[in-house]
Amino acid sequence: MDIAEIASLVGDDRVHARCYTDPAIFELEMERIFRRTWNFACHESQIPKSGDFVTMTIARQPIIVARAPSGEVAAMFNRCSHRGSIVCREESGNAPNFTCPFHGWVFRCNGELAGIPYRESYSPEFLAQTNLGLAPVPRLGRYRGFVFVSLSAEGVPFESYLAPLKVGIDNLLDRAPEGELIADNGLHRYAYKGNWKHQIENGIDEYHPPFSHASTIKDGKQMARAYGSEGFHYTNKNEKSEDVGRSHFDHAEIHGFPYGHSYLTVADRSRVADLKVPSYRELLIKKHGEKRFAEVEEETFITNCVFYPNFILRVNNNIHLRVVRPIAVDRSEVWVWPLRFKGAPDDMSEGIMRYANVHTSVASFVQTDDLEVFERCQEGLNAQAPEWVWLARGLKQEKPGKHPGELVAQGTWETGMRAQFRYWKEMMTQA
Amino acid sequence: MENAPKPRRLAPAEVQEFILFEAQLLNERAFEHWFALMTEDIVYWMPAREHQPNGRMEASIIYDDRTLMRSRIDRLSHPKMWSQNPAAKMQRLVSNITLDHDYETNGMVHSAFAAFEFRNNEQRIFGGTYEHQLRREEGGFKIARKVVRLLNAEGVLWNLGIPF
Ligand code: FES
Ligand SMILES: [Fe+2]
């Protein structure tokens, strides 16, 4: 596929349906986006002790991230250097080393080769090679417990990639009474017959909730999700949101950035429920003092940070990490880890889990209908006409933001998706 | 052999009939009648992993109290619950209904289920176990706690619309 052809698939206000349905494009995305940019891999609270590991696939490749005895975090391919078996089947655990089941080669938890059975049959030259360990993932980036990897030695530096969305991570950690997040509270995992982009776009789609999630609205109010929350009104009294020109969610903002990133802000302050839990509030005031606490409260304005291409960080209420794993052009898996703050009162953490179960579980009130809609999109996009998917809401009405290349938009505008496709085009047109 | 499993007593007809009646209500999508079987302090739990100690501090597939269960059922009758439009048909087979060793004090009943679901021209099969905690109220049984242990709870799951 030549560069001009790929470039022709993305316009300012539209993208071609082939971006979601063409297997050749999907293969190119793996190579030019997922393998070249940064992918979220894990949170360090999932591997606190020496020998702790997690496994995953990134761009469909098997990867291990482990805590070495030195305390360092190591990321390597889960692929025996001998003849290719994966050396670890578990999704998480603790192991002093990884032993290949095939012929017994042993690797340390930082990937170094520890032993080869019956080694006399190998020549000294062969054994002198330094590349017989598990191959390291080319680049690893860590920021305040968040571990990202890049499968390419070259490309955008981690610092630059992270810069636009650091604010979300920083705010989360400012709200942690002991300055730490825990991402080891079980997880929700689901699959759908649809392209990975449906999920990553959904992280900043505030146009859809009144419609896709109509079944969660009773008497004009969203069903209560958080403990003690009343559920908020979607619309002004006596108005159906379909009938008014402006959605409740337009009180929120979308910020679009370079590298395909975006974040979404809260539609109104009453939706930042967690800071109102009295026992938790007291802890934070004790940690920060009244003045700084007031600032932290003010800085708590982000709902979702969407790190392109595979990671959504939920920054308030049902805080969580959500990773999208592309499997095929029309199949994706998503893993969602609810977060809690270390040292936060149990009732608050329980509230987060409760919210997670009704929001991101595959049997929840919300995710179920998103998944159904993703699958309907995938089916619909097989139509030969129209060729285009419109991403025109709020086009050219945005205001510039503080960060270079930042665009600030109303909540329901498709500014986030446009940011994603700008970077998509930039990456996909580099041979 | 310290923890060798001990055989459990077969549940008496009265208990078996109650458990099968509950399954029938679900099979027939009689959700309001199903809800009427629950106690005020009902806990309806589908753990997300095999040895999950409880639903409070970690993610579950479902962990409903009465309020959430009410919302779950409200949604099921909503015409815009897209994931049940069209609605799935389900058949649950419940078997191996036995009494817990401490049934006299805890009211716990164990059973196994297989469930078949048909929706969108696709048939799916589920299996697992139930734990029912029964309580006598108003002359009949009520369910105080129901735990659904799905065999593939730890796997990557596809949309689950209807309660098990
Ligand atoms: S493939 Fe791993 S030891 Fe042979
Ligand atoms: Fe949604």
**A172 and A46 assigned to the same domain:** no
Q: How confident is the model at residue A249 (pLDDT cuts 50, 70, 90)?
A: confident
B85 → chain A, closest CA residue = A372
Return the pLDDT at A21. 98
Distance from CA of A349 to the nearest CA of B (A): 7
Q: What is the mean predicted confidence (pLDDT) over B101-126? A: 97
Residue A16 lies inside a defined structural domain of this protein:
no
**A71 and A174 assigned to the same domain:** no
A contacts of B49 (beta carbons < 8 Å): 186
Residue A7 lies inside a defined structural domain of this protein:
no
Q: What is the pLDDT of residues A167-216, one digit of tens each?
A: 999 999 999 999 999 999 999 999 999 999 999 999 999 999 999 999 99
CATH number, domain with residue A253: 3.90.380.10
**A421 and A328 assigned to the same domain:** yes
pTM: 0.95
**A200 and A136 assigned to the same domain:** no
A339 → chain B, closest CA residue = B58
Instruction: Look up the ipTM and state it.
Output: 0.96
Return the pLDDT at A226. 57
Q: Do A361 and B61 touch (CB under 8 A)?
A: yes
Whether pLDDT at A419 is above 60: yes
Q: Which domain does A264 fall in, by range?
A: 158-428
Q: What is the pLDDT of residues B10-40, one digit of tens each?
A: 999 999 999 999 999 999 999 999 999 999 9
Mean pLDDT, chain A, as a whole number? Answer: 93
For chain B, the farthest-separated pair of C-alpha atoms sits apart, in whole angstroms, at 55
**A117 and A230 assigned to the same domain:** no
Is B46 touching A (CB cutoff 8 A)? yes
Domains detected in chain B:
9-150 (3.10.450.50)
Three-state secondary-structure class, residue B2: coil
Selected residue with higher pLDDT from A240 and A23: A23
Whether pLDDT at A398 is above 50: yes
Return the pLDDT at A224. 60
Q: Do A224 and B83 touch (CB under 8 A)?
A: no
Other CB atoms within 10 A of residue A271 CB: 16
**A171 and A296 assigned to the same domain:** yes
Q: Do A188 and B156 touch (CB under 8 A)?
A: no
**A138 and A164 assigned to the same domain:** no
Distance from CA of A400 to the nearest CA of B (A): 37
What percentage of chain A carries pLDDT values higher than 90? 86
CB contact at 8 A, B148 and B115: no
Q: How confident is the model at residue A274 (pLDDT cuts 50, 70, 90)?
A: confident
Whether pLDDT at A236 is above 50: no
- Looking at the structure of chain A, the number of domains it has is 2
Question: Where does a domain end: A115, A142, A169?
Answer: A142
Give helix A346-359 / helix B66-76 axis angle, nearest 10°: 10
- The residue whose CA is least distant from atom 3 of ligand 1 is A103
Q: Do A363 and B61 touch (CB under 8 A)?
A: yes
Return the pLDDT at A239. 45
Q: What is the pLDDT of residues A82-111, one digit of tens each?
A: 999 999 999 999 999 999 999 999 999 999
Q: What is the mean predicted confidence (pLDDT) over B64-76? A: 95
Q: What is the mean predicted confidence (pLDDT) over B134-139? A: 91
CATH number, domain with residue A64: 2.102.10.10
Q: Do A362 and B158 touch (CB under 8 A)?
A: yes
Question: Where does a domain end: A111, A142, A173?
Answer: A142
Return the pLDDT at A277. 84
**A131 and A200 assigned to the same domain:** no
Residue A372 lies inside a defined structural domain of this protein:
yes
Residue A328 lies inside a defined structural domain of this protein:
yes
A contacts of B81 (beta carbons < 8 Å): 215, 368-369
Residue A23 lies inside a defined structural domain of this protein:
no
Q: What is the mean predicted confidence (pLDDT) over A254-270? A: 92
Q: What is the pLDDT of residues A11-55, one digit of tens each?
A: 999 999 999 999 999 999 999 999 999 999 999 999 999 999 999
Question: Where does a domain end: A112, A142, A172?
Answer: A142
Ligand nearest to the CA of A222: 2
Residue A148 lies inside a defined structural domain of this protein:
no
In a mutagenesis test of the B interface, which of A225, A354, A379 is the best target, namely the one with the most B β-carbons within 10 Å?
A354
Question: Alpha helices of chain B — where are they, by DSSP H?
Answer: 13-27, 31-35, 66-76, 103-106
Return the pLDDT at B73. 96
Return the pLDDT at A368. 97
**A93 and A229 assigned to the same domain:** no
Whether pLDDT at B136 is above 70: yes
Distance from CA of B155 to the nearest CA of A (A): 7
Residue A361 lies inside a defined structural domain of this protein:
yes
**A95 and A178 assigned to the same domain:** no
**HEC profile for chain A?**
CCHHHHHCCECCCEEECHHHHCHHHHHHHHHHHHCCCEEEEEEHHHCCCCCEEEEEEECCEEEEEEECCCCCEEEEECCCCCCCCCCCCCCEEECCEEECCCCCCEEECCCCEEECCCHHHCCHHHHCCCCCCCCECCEEEEECCEEEEECCCCCCCHHHHHHHHHHHHHHHHHCCCCCCEECCCCCEEEEECCCHHHHHHHCCCCCCHHHHCHHHEECCEECCCCCCCCCCECCCCCCCHHHCCCCHHHHCEEEECHHHCEEEECCCHHHCCHHHCHHHHHHHHHHHHHHHHHHHHHHCCEEEEEECCCEEEECCCCCEEEEEEEEECCEEEEEEEECEECCCCHHHHHHHHHHHHHHCCCCCCCHHHHHHHHHHHHHHCCCCCCCEEECCCCCCCCEECCCCCCEEEECCCCHHHHHHHHHHHHHHCCC
**A180 and A133 assigned to the same domain:** no
Residue A399 lies inside a defined structural domain of this protein:
yes
Do strands B140-150 and B38-47 pair parallel, antiparallel, or not at all (unpaired)? parallel
Q: What is the pLDDT of residues A113-139, one digit of tens each?
A: 999 999 999 999 999 998 999 999 999
Identity of the residue numbered A239? E
**A165 and A103 assigned to the same domain:** no
